[in-house]
Structure 1
Amino acid sequence: MAGLPFRNIRAVLFDLDGTLIDSAPDLGAAADKMRTDRGLLPLPLERYRPMAGAGARGMLGVAFGISPEHPEFLALREEFFTNYESCMTERTTIFDGVPQLVSRLVECRMAWGVVTNKSARFTEPLTRKLPLFTTAGAVVSGDTTPHAKPHPAPLIEAAARLGLAPGECIYVGDDERDIVAGLAAGMGTVAAAYGYLGATTQPAEWGAHATINSPAGLLQLLESA
């Protein structure tokens, strides 16, 4: 579905979890430790994976069946954060095809960056530790601006850090809020259908300009524009 939104593009911005990295094993382990610390049976990763894109809210929902309205949610969330902080690079991997995609972008002198709802408390040490991110021109976290996605402010901030107009960028993400934010920022949008999608999620309904089933699909999209 290549077309106008992908022509004259000078940068690609990506969501982080579920788009560039598979952090579900570490997120799930952080939540599951809370279960086993309380004498509860561990849960398989397959239970946690579909909710990995929802961060603490998703992980605590799986582990304990609670929502942010629960009176103990904030205390449990901080415990989860502490657990995750201690293990967040132990099992996390880069999705297959992503290193090749980033290398190709760099070869083509196309800027790239990250816009995530993950707070800087986690984003900064994580991206410093993984060699993939040494060539990223911008890393914007969920608390970098006063608003997180689906608000467009973080995407606009990332474009500014690259010295570009939002319309010169595209945004790739595996959640509907990524597409909402990208559209609101005036960027071309790409839904990453290989990310953390629940069984009832329908990326085709998000309104993205295109959908890809693998990182390589983005290269094909850009090269055919």
Structure 2
Amino acid sequence: MRQDIQAVLFDLDGTLIDSAPDLAGAANALRAQHGLPALPYQQLRPMVGAGARGMVGLAFGVSPGELKFEALRDAFLAQYESALLVHTHVFADMLPVLAVLQDESCPWGIVTNKNSRFALPVVAGLPALANSGVLICGDTTAHAKPHPEPLLEAARRLAVSPQACVYVGDDLRDIEAGRAAGMRTVAAGWGYLGQGEHIEDWGADFIASSPQQLLKWLEEA
């Protein structure tokens, strides 16, 4: 590990874990309750990064501010909460990355916009994430990403300078937050890239198409 990296922070969904099957399952379960057929998984997966807003928007064609949106969003979240860890798992190729960080005593942590209502049980239920040094959720600080506050809070709790941290994420908001916090940023090309997203335009310090590329960059950059 290069000497100027003192900590690595990760986004959760789409970066460390593959939660898309359970989120898509919640959307289709809610559609079934409304007498609608299931949508193909490959159609739902790209919307995971947009959270409940994106999933409900695709599943029911409604947007925030519309009459039915809040009720559908709340029902979707309740459905998801009831089945958080059916298929969700840590990306297999991320396991060696976490192992190297552990072996080299490099602190790592998680900064997610996922509400603690969901993030805490998910992280607690995945043993591979047990060594995370910090977990900052979407409601931990007054602001969520792309505001830098969650990342700055993570660095503070790890007692590491933000400039000595790397933040890895699969959404433009991740890169914007990392840059605003003064951290180096890595765009995770294996994540839930939204439809029409151009990862090259995000302004990340590095684009990793795979966790193996990320590990090589951490070790050789």
TM-score category of the 2 structures, normalised to the smaller one: over 0.9
For 1:222 and 1:192, the matched residues in 2 are separated by: 13
Q: Deviations over 1:52-107 (max 9, x none)?
A: 11110111011001111212211111111110001110011221211111011100
Structure 2 stretches lacking a partner, 5+ long: none
2:110 corresponds to: 114
Report the RMSD for the aligned CA atoms in angstroms: 1.0
Partner residue, 1:171: 167
Of residues 1, 4, 15 in structure 2, which corresponds to 1:8? 4
The CA deviation at 1:7 is: 5.5
1:62 aligns with 2:76: no
Q: Does 1:221 align with 2:217?
A: yes
Structure-1 separation of matches of 2:3 and 2:187: 17
Matched, 1:92 2:104: no
- Compute the displacement of 1:198 (Å): 2.7
- In structure 2, give the amino acid aligned to 1:162: L
TM-score, normalised by the number of residues in structure 2: 0.97
Matching residue's letter, 1:202 = H
1:3 alignment counterpart: none
Equivalent position of 1:82 in the other structure: 78
Task: Kindly provide the amino acid, as one letter, of the partner of residue 140 in structure 1.
Answer: I
Within 5 Å, give how 1:140-155 maps onto structure 2: 140-155=136-151
Aligned AA for 1:94? V
Could you tell me which residue of structure 2 aligns to residue 139 of structure 1?
A: 135
Identity among equivalent positions (%) equals 52
- Please list the CA deviations of residues 182-220 of structure 1 after superposition, one character each: whole Å capped at 9, or x if unmatched: 000000000001101134111110000000011111110
Question: CA offsets per residue over residues 15-49 of structure 1, 9 Å max, x none?
Answer: 00010111111001111111101111111111110
| Matches of 2:194 and 2:48, distance apart in 1 | 10
89-98 or 184-193, larger mean C-alpha shift: 89-98
Task: State whether residues 89 and 126 of structure 2, in contact with CA within 8 Å, keep that contact through their aligned partners in structure 1.
Answer: no
Shift of 1:167: 0.7
Count of aligned residue pairs for this structure pair: 220
Structure 1 pair 7–207 and aligned structure 2 pair: CA distance change class (3 A) = farther
Q: Write out the 4+ residue segments of structure 1 that deviate beyond 2 Å after TM superposition.
A: none
